Structure 1
Amino acid sequence: MKITCIMILFWFLSMLLLSDKSQTSKTGIIYNFTEKNYSLIPADINEDVQVLDLSYNQITLNVTDIRALQMYFLLTELYLIQNNVIILLNDSFGNLSNLQILNICRNSIYIIQRDAFVGLSKLKQLYLCQNKILQLNADIFVPLKNLKLLNLQGNLISYLEVPLLFHLESIILYGNPWNCSCSLFNLQNWLNTSNVILENESITTCSFPDMLKCYSIKTVPYEAECHSKFPSPITEDLYIHFQSISNWTFNNSLNNLTINSEHESLGKSWAFLIGVVVTVLMTSLLIFIAIKCPILYNLLLSYNHHRLEEHEAETYEDGFTGNPSSLSHIPYTNSEDTTVVFEQLHSFVVDDDGFIEDKYIDTHELCEEN
C-alpha cells in the first residue's frame, strides 16, 4: 500500500514538473527593451530568447541590426514599434524561421525590397501599419506561406495588387488614399470571392474620384468596361519606376558620402557648362549685330526718299519753267553741259504737240475727209 502511494505521489510530482516545463516553453524567454533609446539591436541577449520587444527606440534595422538578429533563431515574436526604420532590406529576417508575429508599425518605411520577408515561412501576423508605404509588389508576400493577418492600415497606398496569400484570413486596409478606378477592380473581386475578411470595411473607403468617396473599396460600383480589364499597365510602369527610384535611394543611403561628393561635382559641372553656353551665345549675338547693323543702316539710307507731293512738284517745275532766265546764271556756259542739263530738266515732261487724242474719232471717216 505504501509503495502504491509513493508511486502515485511520484507520478503526480512528475506531471507537475512536466506541466511547468511545457508552460515555460510556451511562454519562452521574454526580453523587454522598450524606451531604452537604443540605436542598435543588442547583440548580448540570450540566444534562446523567443519574445523580443524593442519598441520606442531609435533602431533603423540596418546591416548591423540584421546581423544581430541572425543569432536569435528561436524568436517567435519581434516588436519594433515606433523606431526609425525606413527601408526593409533583403533577408532582413532570413534566419528567423520560427517567427510568428512581426510588428513594425509606426515607423517611416517607404521601401520594402522584394526579398525582405524571405525565410519567414511560419509567420502568421504581419503588422506594417502607420508607415509611408506607397506601393507593394505582390511578390514580396510569396515567402509568407502561413500568414493569416496582414495589417496595412494608415499608409499611402492607392493601389494594391492581389497578394499571393492562400491562408490569409483577415486584412486591414483602412486609412489609405484608395483610388477606386478600374485598376482596383481585381482587388475588389478578390475581397468578394475569397474567404478573406476586410476589417473595418465601412471606413475603408475611396479617396478618388470624388463621386465615389462614400463607397467602400469592397462595394464600389464599377462600369461594365472595367469588368473586362486588367489593372492599368500605366500603374505597373509607375511601380517599376518607383522601384528603380527606391533602389537608387537605398544605394544612396549606403554610400552617402561618395554620392554626395559626386552630386556636388556634377552640379558644379552643369552650372559651368550652362555658363559657357550662355556666354558663347551672347558673344555670337553681339558679333552678328556688329556686322549686320552697318549694312542695315546703309540699306535704310539708300531707301530714304519719297515721292514728291503735288505742291512740291509744282514748285519744282515752276522753278525751271517760270524763270527761264535763271539758266543764264548757270556757270560754265559750255553747250554740251547746257544740253545735258536741259535734257535732265525736261526728262520728266511729256511731249505735247497741242493736239488731244480722241479715241472716239473714226479713223475711216478721217481718211475720207482728207
Structure 2
Amino acid sequence: PHNRLGQIHSQALEGLGALQELDLSNNHLTTLTPETFLPLTSLVTLDLSGNRLGELDPGVLSALPRLQALLLQDNPWVCSCGILPLWRWLSFNREKVQEKSLLLCRIPEQLNKYPIMAFGNESFRQCQETSLSAQHYIAFLLIGPFSFTASIFFCIFMGSIVAAYHN
C-alpha cells in the first residue's frame, strides 16, 4: 500500500493466478479495467480503499470468481447513473463487502456523504428508462441504408445530367 499508483497496466498481474489477497489501498487509482484482474482466478480478498475511484467497472468484480471480501471505502464515489452497475453488484453481494456503511457518495454535492447502500431501485429509475421508442430505433436503423440508396440515385442522376450536357 501507499505506493501512489495512478494506474495498473493491464498485464501487470499476469502469472499471479495463485494470489489470494491483493492490497491496493491508499493509492491514486482512478480507473480499473477488467482485463487487469482476469489472471487473479484465486483472489479472495481485494482492498481498493483509499483510492480515487469514482466508479468501478462491474467487469472488474465479475473477473474475480472467488472474491469473498472487498474493501471500497474512502473513495470519492460519483453517485450518478454511472454507479448503478456497482450498486447492483453490491446489492447482490452484500456479504462480500466490508465496511458497507463507509461507502459514501462524494459527488454530486447534494449527495456528499450519502451511503451508496442506502439507495433503492427507485433511485435509479431515470437511469434505466430509455427515452427512445421502437419506432425511433427503426428510424435510426433505416437512415443508413436510405441515405446510401439516395446517394446512389443522386450520383446516377448527376452523371446523367453531365453526360447529356457533354453530348
Assess same fold via TM > 0.5.
yes
1:128 aligns with 2:24: yes
> Is the contact between residue 206 and residue 213 of structure 1 (CA under 8 Å) also seen in structure 2?
yes
What does residue 101 of structure 2 align with?
202
> Is the contact between residue 159 and residue 178 of structure 1 (CA under 8 Å) also seen in structure 2?
yes
**1:325-351 CA-partner distances (Å, limit 9, x unpaired):** xxxxxxxxxxxxxxxxxxxxxxxxxxx
2:124 to 212, 217, 223: 223
> Is the contact between residue 104 and residue 116 of structure 2 (CA under 8 Å) also seen in structure 1?
yes
> Is the contact between residue 84 and residue 124 of structure 2 (CA under 8 Å) also seen in structure 1?
no
1:147 to 17, 34, 43: 43
> Is the contact between residue 101 and residue 117 of structure 2 (CA under 8 Å) also seen in structure 1?
no
The Cα shift of 1:115 comes to 0.8
Distance 1:195 1:218, change over 3 A: closer
What does residue 115 of structure 1 align with?
11
In the alignment, the residues of structure 1 paired with residue 46 and residue 56 of structure 2 have an alpha-carbon distance, to the nearest angstrom, of 13
The Cα shift of 1:209 comes to 1.1
1:169 aligns with 2:68: yes
**1:304-338 CA-partner distances (Å, limit 9, x unpaired):** xxxxxxxxxxxxxxxxxxxxxxxxxxxxxxxxxxx
In the alignment, the residues of structure 1 paired with residue 99 and residue 90 of structure 2 have an alpha-carbon distance, to the nearest angstrom, of 13
Amino acid corresponding to residue 223 of structure 1 in structure 2:
F
**Unmatched tracts of structure 2, length 5 or more:** 131-167
* TM-score (normalised: structure 1): 0.32
Paired-residue identity, %: 30
Amino acid corresponding to residue 35 of structure 2 in structure 1:
D
> Is the contact between residue 180 and residue 220 of structure 1 (CA under 8 Å) also seen in structure 2?
no
Amino acid corresponding to residue 128 of structure 2 in structure 1:
H
In the alignment, the residues of structure 1 paired with residue 46 and residue 113 of structure 2 have an alpha-carbon distance, to the nearest angstrom, of 24
Write out aligned runs for 1:1-370 (5 A): 105-162=1-58, 163=60, 164-194=63-93, 196-221=95-120, 222-228=123-129
The Cα shift of 1:216 comes to 1.8
The Cα shift of 1:211 comes to 2.2
In the alignment, the residues of structure 2 paired with residue 111 and residue 223 of structure 1 have an alpha-carbon distance, to the nearest angstrom, of 29
In the alignment, the residues of structure 2 paired with residue 119 and residue 218 of structure 1 have an alpha-carbon distance, to the nearest angstrom, of 35
What does residue 159 of structure 2 align with?
none
The Cα shift of 1:195 comes to 5.9
SS for the counterpart of 2:97 is: strand
Alignment root-mean-square deviation, CA? 1.6
Distance 1:190 1:123, change over 3 A: same
The Cα shift of 1:204 comes to 1.4
* TM-score (normalised: structure 2): 0.69
What does residue 145 of structure 2 align with?
none
Which structure has more relative contact order (CA 8 Å, sep 6+)? It is: 2
**Unmatched tracts of structure 1, length 5 or more:** 1-104, 230-370
In the alignment, the residues of structure 1 paired with residue 20 and residue 4 of structure 2 have an alpha-carbon distance, to the nearest angstrom, of 23
In the alignment, the residues of structure 2 paired with residue 193 and residue 228 of structure 1 have an alpha-carbon distance, to the nearest angstrom, of 21
In the alignment, the residues of structure 2 paired with residue 188 and residue 178 of structure 1 have an alpha-carbon distance, to the nearest angstrom, of 11
Superposed structure 1 runs of 4+ greater than 6 Å apart: none
In the alignment, the residues of structure 2 paired with residue 158 and residue 211 of structure 1 have an alpha-carbon distance, to the nearest angstrom, of 16
SS for the counterpart of 1:156 is: coil
**1:111-141 CA-partner distances (Å, limit 9, x unpaired):** 2100110111111100001111111112211
